[in-house]
Structure formats: structure tokens, C-alpha cells
């Protein structure tokens, strides 16, 4: 039997595009003599469809699309994910389903049993868990069709009481098929290989796994679909961060004895490639082509510009330099040099007159009080107003350049440098931004060396440095990582050797600035714990604040 894996970049709710891509893959696989082609979880709708699932019209469109795709399945079968209606009046109205299509018809439906309800997942909000298990007999083989999480309840730390594959195994299947929507973070590929190898080791069956690829707002999908034979040999991986289609002969993969040599990109390369894909898909799926950003001469805006140029093309990213009276001359020249290195357009708009005008307007109200953060933030907000004005006038999307370290401790100005339609680096710590800059410059100097080596500064007052307000970034980021990603409390952190006063200060800054993060643009997720949909904290909570 020949099985094709089709790894596609779907678009949520774009039934015409999704259906066209699926049918095109079916025809290609059929021309290459495949018997079966496998698509991802919720392929018809795109993942995650969220509250679109609450509209009957949306579900009807999904099912109509499935029927049209089924009509293409003559001389070839397909497995494809879609929401489906639960006919039972009890329970949730929908299932998360895998449809088996052949001979022009829907032959069977297989529903997801384990519905994740943690981190970025919210499936139990919409779907009823499956309790009925049935393998598929196809061309002399029994197929155990599972959906993503159904294979993840394995090992020592079990989240669910049951195991769907244990039930399917009682029917003596020959092959495990797993269709998935597994969002990217920089450790996810290693983790899922471990999980799927554990399944193969336990059941001694070959496994075919198909993942999504592409970006759906903040969620990024890296592809990396897998074929593992019953001996636990990873026979092949599909491409990362791009669409792919490959066909495998089950008898040939079972004979393979040599482990495929994995391509193990570095964490920073993965983050770089994921962010480029995320920017490109966000613009493409919204129908925009051009971006704008404030280019300060600092490392965050520099890295953002390079990533955006790679994603959108140099002619489609416009930089605006917005110097004030506190901007150093090297900041201006560093920003200009970067834009020139990239061949990307840039303009300079000095904000001194606007700052002076606004300060004069506020003088009667401020009553000659000493200058403080209010005057600093006026500068950031004027920059935000200018960037948004250009965005509105020319139809650009403004890219936010704040990093995760700043977002965590509230080191940013609401309605100023926190503006934007998309946050590119909001899940990248400052120390990782430096690593990205070095990765970008691995072959030649693109980002000026001075941008990388000079002390970070917001340049909102004379001689200002980030370290005036924050711990040094290596210390800050180490504390933030342990608190945010690893969920370590203050006593844990102090026990790890961090200074107690610094720990309590940092954790207080994190928790008292939740209101700012609540108002930020969507953040491209590259870690296991990004701000946004995967981290839900109360704004008015008292804990550690």
C-alpha cells in the first residue's frame, strides 16, 4: 500500500482555498499511484477556528466541502479532518472528526477522544469527546485513525484517564494514522518525536503523522510531518515551515533499518524561520502587502526590520526614523546604515516640534512639576501617532518591535511603542534578540555592529540606559524564563540562587503590568509559554503584586 502525506498551509474559514489545495493534493497523489492520502486535523476549517464553530453556517460549509472532496476520491482514498455535528442531543453539538473518504463517498467518521484544554488549546469548549472506537479496513490493512492528542496520553505523566490507542489496539490494527494540529515552539519537534516514538515502541506498529504548516495569527505551525516504521526508525520528515507532499510504500518503510539523519536546526534558526513565516502569513492571509515600523537604531527594531524584509520583500517594508532631542547621532546613523544595507525605503520625521507643542499645551495642567515619566511617554506616544498616521494614509500594517523581556515587566508605553498590528518579537527575550542579530549577521554584517554592542536605551531622557530601570538582561531573562515558562515561584527562584530583592521586584513588575499586555497586538508564539491566548492571568489579582 502507498500512503501520501499532504502537509498544507490552510487558511481559517477560507473554504475555497482549502478545498482547492486539498483536491490538488489528491490528484497529485493519485497520479503518483498512492492508495491513500492523509491530511491534517480540522483541515477543512483551518485550525483553530474558535467561535466560528458556533455558527451553523460555518459547520454546513465544512460538511459541504467534505462531500465535494469525497467525490474526488475515486481510485484513491483520503483521511481528512473537519468539525462534524453530534447527532446526540446530549453533550456538545460538535465532534472534532477525521473522515475516511473513498469511492466518491464518506465511508466512515472517527472522532477525537482527548480534547486538550490547556495552554493555547480550548477544544472542550466546542467538542464532545469520542467514546466509540473502530479501525478501518482498507486494501488488506487495518488503519487506526487517531487525532493529535489521542496519542499523547502516554508515558509517566498522564493527563487523561483513558487511552484511545489502547482501545483501537484491541482490534489488531496494522498502521497508526495520526492527523494533527501541533503548534510550533522551539522545543516542540523534539517533544512530539519523543511522544510518537513511545507510541511505536508500545504498539509495535508503523505510524504516519501529518501536521499543519503555516501561521494562524499568533499560532505558528512548523509542519515536520513524520513517518516511523514499527522498529522505531524515523524513516522521513516532511519539510519545516513550508508545504510538502510525499508518498511512502508501507512495505518499503517497514524494511528500512537506517535511521533518517535528522536535520537539527538551532533554537535561534527555528525562531528566525518561524517568525519570518509568521509575518508573511499574517500579511498574506489578511490581504495586506506592506509593513511600516519605527526604526530607532536599537537592536529590537533592527531585528524586526530584517525579519520583515525577508518575509515581505525589501520594497514592502518602510522604516520611519523618529529622532528626538535625546536621540544619539549613532542611533540615527545605525538605523540609516541598516536600511541601506537591506535596500529598504526609509524616511526621517523629527519629533522635537511636536513634543514641544504638546508640552506647551500641557504646561497649565502640569503646573511646572518636575519632568518625569509623563514627559518621556509623550515622546513615545507622538512616535506612535506618527506611525499610525502613515499606516492609515498608505494602508500599511504597523509592526510592533517590543521584546518579551520588556512586555513582561511593562517596560513600554501604551499607545506609543506598544502600538502595532502584529508583535514580531513579543515572545523573544532580549538576550534571544541579541542571538537573532548574531544569526542574521552569520555570513556578513547586515545589522550594524554598533547596534548589537551598544548598551540598550529607550533614549527618552539624557544618558538613559535600560539598566537604569531593569536588572541586566541576562539576569532578568533568567528569572523571567523560570517564572513564565517553568512556573517557578519566588521561593523556588531564591533557592536557585537569584537575589531575593531582585526576584520579588521582577515578579511584582510582571504581575502589575498585566493590564498593558492585555492591550498589546497579537504576539507570534515561538516559546512554550507566550503572552496572549496561552497565558491567562487576572489583571486585578493581588498574587505577588
Domain shared by 423 and 508, yes or no: yes
DSSP β-ladder status, 36-38 and 175-179: unpaired
Domain boundary among 235, 264, 293: 264
Cα–Cα dist 205/229, whole Å: 7
**Nearest partner of 529 among 486, 465, 466, 479, judged by Cα:** 486
**Nearest partner of 307 among 161, 447, 172, judged by Cα:** 447
**Among the listed ranges 180-194, 223-237, 247-261, which one has the minimum average pLDDT value?**
247-261
What is the structure's pLDDT at 257? Answer: 87
Above 90 in pLDDT, residue 12? Answer: yes
Domain shared by 259 and 318, yes or no: no
- For the chain, the domain total comes to 2
**Contacts of range 120-127, beta carbons closer than 8 Å, 24 or more positions apart:** 120/48, 120/183, 120/219, 120/525, 120/533, 120/534, 121/48, 122/48, 122/50, 123/96, 123/149, 124/92, 126/53, 126/54, 126/83, 126/92, 126/94, 126/96, 127/83, 127/92, 127/94, 127/95, 127/96
> At what angle are helices 430-440 and 299-312 packed, to 10 degrees?
50
**Among the listed ranges 67-81, 91-105, 255-269, which one has the minimum average pLDDT value?**
255-269
Q: Measure the CA dihedral 376/379/385/389, to 10°.
A: -160
What is the structure's pLDDT at 264? Answer: 82
What is the structure's pLDDT at 492? Answer: 97
Domain shared by 248 and 273, yes or no: no
Q: What is the mean pLDDT of residues 166-172?
A: 98
Among this protein's residues, is 488 annotated catalytic?
no
Q: What is the mean pLDDT of residues 420-427?
A: 98
What is the structure's pLDDT at 85? Answer: 98
Above 80 in pLDDT, residue 253? Answer: yes
Catalytic residue among 2, 61, 112, 337: 112
Domain shared by 291 and 222, yes or no: no
Domain shared by 193 and 298, yes or no: no
Cα–Cα dist 505/63, whole Å: 53
Domain shared by 216 and 274, yes or no: no
Domain boundary among 264, 283, 312: 264
Above 80 in pLDDT, residue 336? Answer: yes
What secondary structure letter does DSSP report for 522?
P
User: Is the bond leading into 48 cis (omega within 30 degrees of zero)?
Assistant: yes
In this structure, what CATH number is given to the domain that contains residue 171?
3.60.110.10
Determine how many CB atoms are found less than 10 A away from the CB of residue 404. Answer: 27
In this structure, what CATH number is given to the domain that contains residue 287?
3.40.50.620
pLDDT in tens, 397-422: 999 999 999 999 999 999 999 999 99
Q: Which residue has the cell 511603542?
A: 417
Residue 539 located in a structural domain:
no
Is the overall model pTM greater than 0.85, yes or no? yes
Q: Please, what sign has the CA dihedral across residues 249, 252, 254, 258?
A: negative
What is the structure's pLDDT at 467? Answer: 79
Domain shared by 258 and 284, yes or no: no
Domain shared by 257 and 322, yes or no: no
Residue 478 located in a structural domain:
yes
What is the structure's pLDDT at 352? Answer: 94
Take residue 215 and report the three cell numbers written for it.
501561521
Q: What is the mean pLDDT of residues 185-202?
A: 97
**Domain ranges, residue 145:** 2-264
What is the structure's pLDDT at 468? Answer: 81
Residue 314 located in a structural domain:
yes
Q: Which residue has the cell 555570513?
A: 443
pLDDT in tens, 445-489: 999 999 999 888 776 777 778 778 899 999 999 999 999 999 999
Domain shared by 239 and 291, yes or no: no
Domain boundary among 207, 231, 264: 264
Domain shared by 256 and 274, yes or no: no
Q: What is the mean pLDDT of residues 389-397?
A: 97
SS3 content of the chain, % helix, strand, coil (to 5): 40, 20, 40
What is the structure's pLDDT at 260? Answer: 72
Q: pLDDT tier at 279 (50, 70, 90 boundaries)?
A: very high
Q: What is the mean pLDDT of residues 496-512?
A: 97
Among this protein's residues, is 148 annotated catalytic?
yes
Take residue 530 and report the three cell numbers written for it.
507566550
Take residue 182 and report the three cell numbers written for it.
501541533
What is the structure's pLDDT at 150? Answer: 98
Among this protein's residues, is 73 annotated catalytic?
no
Residue 528 located in a structural domain:
no
What is the structure's pLDDT at 302? Answer: 98
Residue 45 located in a structural domain:
yes
Determine how many CB atoms are found less than 10 A away from the CB of residue 218. Answer: 24
Cα–Cα dist 472/456, whole Å: 10
Domain shared by 462 and 506, yes or no: yes
Domain shared by 260 and 273, yes or no: no
Residue 192 located in a structural domain:
yes
Strand partners, 37: 4, 78
Catalytic residue among 41, 72, 218, 459: 41
Residue 535 located in a structural domain:
no
- Radius of gyration, alpha carbons of the chain: 26
Question: DSSP letters of 275-343?
Answer: HHHHHHHHHHHHT---EEEE--SSHHHHHHHHHHHHHH-GGGEEEEE---TT--HHHHHHHHHHHHHHT
262 or 343: which leads in pLDDT: 343
Q: pLDDT tier at 278 (50, 70, 90 boundaries)?
A: very high
Determine how many CB atoms are found less than 10 A away from the CB of residue 240. Answer: 22
What percent of the chain lies above the pLDDT cut of 90?
A: 91
Strands (DSSP E) along 48-149, which ranges? 77-85, 94-102, 105-111, 136-138, 141-147
Catalytic residue among 19, 21, 148, 285: 148
Residue 524 located in a structural domain:
no
pLDDT in tens, 138-155: 999 999 999 999 999 998
Amino acid at each position: 500500500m502507498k500512503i501520501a502525506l499532504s502537509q498544507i498551509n490552510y487558511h481559517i474559514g477560507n473554504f475555497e482555498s482549502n478545498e482547492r489545495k486539498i483536491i490538488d493534493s489528491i490528484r497529485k497523489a493519485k497520479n503518483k499511484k498512492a492508495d491513500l492520502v492523509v491530511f491534517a486535523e480540522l483541515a477543512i476549517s483551518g485550525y483553530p477556528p474558535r467561535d466560528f464553530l458556533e455558527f451553523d453556517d460555518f459547520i454546513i460549509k465544512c460538511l459541504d466541502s467534505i462531500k465535494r472532496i469525497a467525490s474526488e476520491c475515486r481510485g484513491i482514498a483520503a483521511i481528512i479532518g473537519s468539525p462534524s455535528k453530534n447527532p446526540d442531543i446530549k453533550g456538545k453539538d460538535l465532534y472534532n472528526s477525521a473522515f475516511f473518504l473513498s469511492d466518491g463517498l464518506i465511508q466512515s467518521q472517527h472522532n477525537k477522544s482527548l480534547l486538550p484544554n490547556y495552554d493555547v488549546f480550548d477544544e472542550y469548549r466546542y467538542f464532545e469527546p469520542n467514546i466509540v472506537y473502530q479501525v478501518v479496513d482498507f486494501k488488506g490493512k487495518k488503519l487506526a485513525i487517531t487525532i493529535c492528542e489521542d496519542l499523547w496520553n502516554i508515558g509517566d505523566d498522564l493527563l487523561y484517564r483513558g487511552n484511545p490507542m489502547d482501545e483501537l489496539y484491541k482490534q489488531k490494527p496494522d498502521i497508526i494514522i495520526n492527523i494533527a494540529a501541533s503548534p510550533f515552539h522551539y522545543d516542540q519537534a523534539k517533544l512530539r518525536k519523543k511522544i510518537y516514538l513511545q507510541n511505536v515502541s508500545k504498539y509495535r506498529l508503523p505510524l504516519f503523522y501529518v501536521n499543519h504548516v503555516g501561521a494562524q495569527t499568533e499560532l505558528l505551525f512548523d509542519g515536520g510531518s513524520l513517518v516511523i516504521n514499527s522498529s522505531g526508525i524515523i524513516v522521513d520528515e516532511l519539510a519545516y515551515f513550508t508545504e510538502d507532499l510525499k508518498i511512502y510504500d508501507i512495505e518499503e518503510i517497514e524494511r528500512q533499518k537506517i535511521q533518517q539523519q535528522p536535520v537539527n536546526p538551532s533554537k535561534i534558526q527555528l525562531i528566525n524561520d518561524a517568525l519570518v513565516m509568521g509575518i508573511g502569513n499574517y500579511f498574506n492571509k489578511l490581504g495586506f502587502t506592506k509593513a511600516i515600523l519605527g526604526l530607532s537604531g536599537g537592536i529590537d527594531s533592527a531585528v524586526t526590520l530584517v525579519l520583515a524584509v525577508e518575509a515581505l520583500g525589501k520594497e514592502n517594508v518602510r522604516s520611519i526614523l523618529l529622532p528626538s532631542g535625546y536621540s544619539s547621532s549613532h542611533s540615527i546613523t545605525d538605523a540609516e546604515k541598516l536600511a541601506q544595507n537591506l535596500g529598504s525605503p526609509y524616511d526621517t520625521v523629527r519629533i522635537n516640534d511636536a513634543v514641544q507643542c504638546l508640552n506647551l499645551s500641557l504646561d497649565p495642567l502640569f503646573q511646572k512639576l518636575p519632568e518625569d515619566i509623563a514627559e518621556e511617554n509623550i515622546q513615545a506616544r507622538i512616535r506612535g501617532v506618527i506611525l499610525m498616521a502613515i499606516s492609515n494614509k498608505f494602508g500599511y500594517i504597523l509592526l510592533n518591535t517590543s521584546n518579551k523581556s520588556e512586555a513582561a515587566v511593562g517596560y513600554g508605553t501604551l499607545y506609543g511603542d506598544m502600538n502595532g498590528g502584529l508583535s514580531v518579537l513579543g515572545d523573544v527575550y532580549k538576550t534571544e534578540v541579541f542571538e537573532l542579530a548574531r544569526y542574521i549577521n552569520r555570513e556578513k554584517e547586515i545589522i550594524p555592529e554598533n547596534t548589537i554592542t551598544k548598551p540598550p536605551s529607550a533614549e527618552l531622557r539624557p544618558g538613559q540606559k535600560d539598566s537604569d530601570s531593569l536588572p541586566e538582561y541576562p539576569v532578568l531573562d533568567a528569572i523571567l524564563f523560570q517564572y513564565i515558562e517553568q512556573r517557578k515561584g519566588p521561593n523556588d527562584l531564591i533557592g536557585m540562587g537569584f537575589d531575593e530583592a531582585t526576584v520579588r521586584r521582577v515578579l511584582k513588575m510582571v504581575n502589575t503590568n498585566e493590564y498593558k499586555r492585555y492591550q498589546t497586538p497579537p504576539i507570534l508564539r515561538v516559546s512554550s509559554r507566550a503572552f496572549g491566548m496561552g497565558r491567562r492571568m487576572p489583571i486585578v489579582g493581588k498574587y505577588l503584586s
